[in-house]
């Protein structure tokens, strides 16, 4: 056996000669290919830096190819109201700051942060096209070259003989003109439409996450700006309508995109974010028309505070974005509460005292009705012994008969029970209007009063070391105070309430005492302005009850009036007559049913 002592000297020499030959050949052919390629390139027309396309003739360059050749930049546009940053990546508006407003800072519990509606890549939009190979490309993946002239920026991307231009012009106030122009795109795209896609994460800008999240939603107009709809839940589908504009709103601010010819076959989705910097995630897609497979259309962006007067100036139905309530509720806010507050505030009062005076004015307007209600309560106290006597006398009788006798007592005494329902019915639309008014009225945003730093959010002076469902991690002083006065008011009025005598009926007094407690859970996370209003309102109610009871209404005179009414019974009203006839008919039907049951029982006994 031959011993292996390593590599032979001849093998080493042959390996070195072979390597030199291979390296020389590679160098020779590489130079020939380079000379040939240089000759070909010399015959081609000159290209710009943005001609960074893939080798496929029908497709635009991808993002990686673009970034290799062009650096991504952000260009600033600014006026008194807005500061914009426009990125050459996608040709998009990447940052929007509203210069006259500030955002809530949870670290300082103040509105002292720059109010950035768009920031940190929370918004991405672009136009998606389908090329002739069936693939889709989107302008938000392209890198553009930029040229700025004053408050106008022209962004341009070239590829495969096609040119896409985005031209942004920051006009006065809150409007940005966004013009899209293409040339040669018809040689690449396969159809005559482009799909506008917008992905947006709504930032938290206010104190009170749950309230702000509730007011963050889609909004859109159609029917030539005359109709408006919104969606605060999950999906929005508008396959048949042409949208004149689309808005994504927060509690006090909104971003709106308006296409020249509208969005068609629109759809969107929103998903709630449970915690962190963002409130909800939105995505939207809608088709825009192309002429001759070219996209030449004007758009407008609006970045607006939700100020009613400002929104009306645009005459595009933007004021509907402000959620003041439907129909009569919204009308009450627009034409009564807002103007009244503005007039009072113009006297130089702070927001809290303006709300105080507003409450008194509302109470004065409702005072005639409130007086009738309290007079009715006094009359009910006077005839209480007679009502108790009827209940005792007919406690074992048919409930329908007992109810008829009680109505007879009311009628003879001249007491109209329905009159007490009117103030309560009037309070419902007023309550709902104010429920919409306080958290959506931008003039109250950031306005402090006593321990409340912002009347559109809750006060949280009392912080809890733990989280309670519905109450969260704090107790609102205004909410506690409002609950206390509602409880006192209930104690003063519950004595007049008739207790149910039928078995199984709930005790209304107990329910009335439970209501103020549940009110605490509702108000604790609501706007402190609403709690302050209802604290003042119910405190005035208590004062009215005491004044009427001890200085205005004399129960002896009321008793004498009731006795006089009994001596001269009042004519039965239409409603009372209808109720009596209905009860008599029901009582007759009940007697017939009982008679039939008795006959069947007797017949069975005979068998």
pLDDT tens for each residue of 326-372: 888 989 999 999 999 999 999 999 999 999 999 999 888 887 777 77
pLDDT, one tens digit per residue, over 455-479 is: 999 888 888 888 887 778 888 899 9
Region 74-89: what's the mean pLDDT?
94
Q: For 570-579, which contacts have Cβ atoms below 8 Å and span 24 or more sequence positions?
A: 570/411, 570/412, 570/414, 572/411, 573/416, 575/418, 576/407, 576/411, 579/407
Both 317 and 402 in a single domain? no
The verdict on residue 33 lying in a domain is no
State mean pLDDT over 80-88: 95
Does 492 reside within a domain?
A: yes
Task: Tally the domains of the chain.
Answer: 3
Q: What percentage of the chain carries pLDDT values higher than 70?
A: 73
Are 393 and 298 contained in the same domain? no
Lowest-confidence region among 164-173, 346-355, 361-370, 407-416: 407-416
Q: Which two tokens stand for residue 219?
A: 């909004």
59-68, 140-149, 469-478: which range is least confident on average? 59-68
225-243, pLDDT tens digit by residue?
999 988 877 788 999 999 9
| 481 and 588 part of one domain | no
Distance (Å, rounded) from C-alpha 241 to C-alpha 437? 30
Q: How many CB atoms lie within 10 A of CB 418?
A: 11
CA dihedral 61, 63, 66, 71 (to 10 degrees): 160
Q: Which residue has the higher pLDDT, 484 or 379?
A: 484
302 & 335 share domain? no
What is the pTM for the complete model shown? 0.76
Written as six digits, the tokens of 336 are 């009564």
pLDDT at residue 34 is higher than 60: no
Claim to verify: residue 421 and residue 452 sit in the same structural domain: yes
- SS3 assignment, position 295: coil
Cβ(462)–Cβ(503) below 8 Å: no
Residue 28 lies in a domain: no
Closest CA to 528 of 475, 489, 486: 475
pLDDT digits (tens, 9 = 90+) for 189-216: 888 889 999 999 999 999 988 889 989 9
Q: What is the pLDDT of residue 393?
A: 74
Domain-located, residue 307: yes
Handedness of CA 410, 414, 415, 416 (dihedral sign): positive
Query: Are 150 and 183 within one domain?
Result: yes
Question: CATH no. for residue 269?
Answer: 2.70.98
CB 533 within 8 A of CB 358: yes
In a domain, 3, yes or no: no
Nearest residue to 434 via CA among 521, 341, 518: 341
Task: Answer for the pair 58, 293: CB distance below 8 angstroms, yes or no.
Answer: no
Please check whether residue 17 lies inside any domain of the structure. Answer: no
Query: Worst-scoring range by mean pLDDT, 4-8, 231-235, 565-569?
Result: 4-8
Residue 165 burial (CB count, 10 A)? 17
Between CA 409 and CA 406 the distance in angstroms is: 5
Question: Mean pLDDT of all residues in the chain?
Answer: 79
SS3 50: coil
Q: Strand, coil or helix: what is 553?
A: coil
Is residue 19 situated within a structural domain?
no
* Mean pLDDT confidence for 8-29: 44
268 vs 5, higher pLDDT: 268
Q: What is the reported pLDDT for 374? A: 72
The lowest-confidence range among 85-94, 510-519, 579-588 is 579-588
Q: Would residue 439 count as lying in a domain?
A: yes
Query: With 90 as the cut, is the pLDDT of residue 552 above it?
Result: no
Boundary of a domain, candidates 301, 323, 345: 323
Beta strands in 406-563 (DSSP E): 462-468, 472-475
Split at pLDDT 50, 70, 90, the class of 96 is very high
The answer on 351 and 263 residing in a single domain is no
- pLDDT on residue 42: 40
Whether residue 263 has pLDDT greater than 50: yes
Give the structural domain span for 98.
63-323
Among 323, 348, 383, identify where a domain stops: 323
Say whether both 249 and 367 belong to one domain: no
222 and 352 in a common domain: no
The single residue listed with the structure tokens 């609006």 is 302
Q: Of the candidates 270, 289, 323, which is a domain's last residue?
A: 323
My answer on whether 519 and 400 are in the same domain is yes
pLDDT(320) > 90: yes
Length of the chain: 607
- 299 and 231 in one domain? yes
One domain, residues 519 and 593: no
């Amino acid at each position: 056996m031959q011993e292996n002592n390593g590599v032979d000297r001849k093998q080493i020499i042959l390996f070195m000669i072979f390597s030199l030959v291979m390296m020389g050949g590679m160098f020779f052919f590489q130079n020939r290919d380079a000379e040939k390629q240089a000759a070909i390139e010399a015959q081609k027309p000159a290209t710009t830096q943005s001609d960074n396309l893939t080798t496929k003739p029908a497709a635009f360059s991808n993002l990686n190819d673009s970034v290799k050749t062009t650096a991504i930049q952000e260009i600033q546009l600014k006026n008194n109201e807005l500061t914009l940053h426009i990125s050459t990546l996608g040709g998009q508006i990447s940052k929007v700051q509203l210069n006259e407003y500030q955002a809530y800072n949870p670290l300082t519990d103040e509105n002292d942060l720059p109010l950035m509606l768009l920031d940190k890549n929370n918004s991405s939009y672009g136009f998606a096209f389908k090329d002739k190979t069936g693939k889709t490309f989107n302008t938000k993946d392209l890198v553009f070259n930029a040229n700025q002239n004053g408050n106008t920026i022209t962004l341009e991307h070239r590829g495969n003989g096609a040119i896409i231009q985005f031209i942004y012009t920051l006009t006065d106030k809150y409007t940005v003109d966004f013009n899209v122009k293409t040339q040669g795109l018809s040689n690449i795209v396969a159809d005559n439409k482009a799909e506008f896609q917008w992905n947006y994460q709504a930032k938290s800008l206010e104190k009170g996450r749950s309230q702000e999240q509730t007011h963050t939603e889609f909004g859109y107009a159609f029917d030539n700006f005359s109709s408006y709809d919104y969606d605060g839940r999950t999906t929005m589908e508008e396959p048949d309508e042409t949208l004149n504009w689309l808005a994504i709103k927060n509690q006090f601010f909104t971003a709106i995109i308006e296409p020249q010819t509208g969005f068609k076959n629109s759809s969107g989705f929103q998903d709630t974010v449970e915690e962190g910097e963002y409130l909800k995630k939105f995505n939207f897609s809608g088709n825009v028309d192309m002429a001759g497979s070219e996209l030449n259309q004007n758009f407008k962006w609006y970045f607006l505070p939700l100020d009613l007067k400002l929104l009306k100036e645009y005459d595009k139905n933007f004021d509907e974005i402000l959620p003041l309530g439907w129909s009569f509720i919204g009308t009450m806010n627009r034409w009564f509460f807002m103007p009244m507050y503005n007039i009072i505030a113009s006297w130089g009062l702070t927001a809290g005292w303006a709300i105080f005076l507003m409450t008194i004015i509302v109470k004065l307007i409702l005072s005639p009705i409130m007086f009738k209600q309290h007079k009715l309560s006094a009359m009910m106290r006077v005839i209480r012994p007679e009502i108790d006597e009827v209940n005792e006398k007919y406690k074992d009788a048919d409930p329908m008969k007992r109810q008829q006798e009680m109505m007879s007592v009311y009628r003879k005494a001249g007491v109209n029970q329905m009159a007490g329902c009117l103030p309560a019915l009037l309070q419902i639309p007023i309550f709902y209007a104010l429920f919409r008014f306080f958290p959506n009225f931008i003039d109250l945003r950031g306005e402090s009063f006593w321990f409340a730093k912002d009347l559109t959010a809750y006060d949280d002076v009392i912080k809890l070391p733990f989280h309670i469902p519905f109450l969260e991690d704090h107790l609102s002083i205004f909410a506690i105070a409002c609950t206390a006065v509602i409880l006192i008011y209930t104690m003063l009025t519950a004595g007049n309430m008739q207790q149910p005598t039928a078995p199984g009926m709930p005790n209304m007094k107990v329910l009335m005492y439970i209501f103020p407690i549940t009110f605490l859970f509702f108000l604790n996370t609501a706007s402190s302005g609403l709690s302050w209003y209802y604290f003042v309102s119910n405190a005035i109610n208590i004062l009215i009850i005491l004044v009427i009871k001890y200085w205005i209404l004399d129960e002896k005179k009321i008793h004498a009036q009731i006795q006089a009414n009994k001596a001269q019974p009042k004519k039965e009203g239409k409603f009372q007559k209808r109720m009596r006839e209905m009860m008599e008919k029901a009582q007759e039907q009940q007697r017939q049913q009982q008679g039939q049951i008795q006959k069947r029982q007797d017949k069975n006994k005979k068998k």
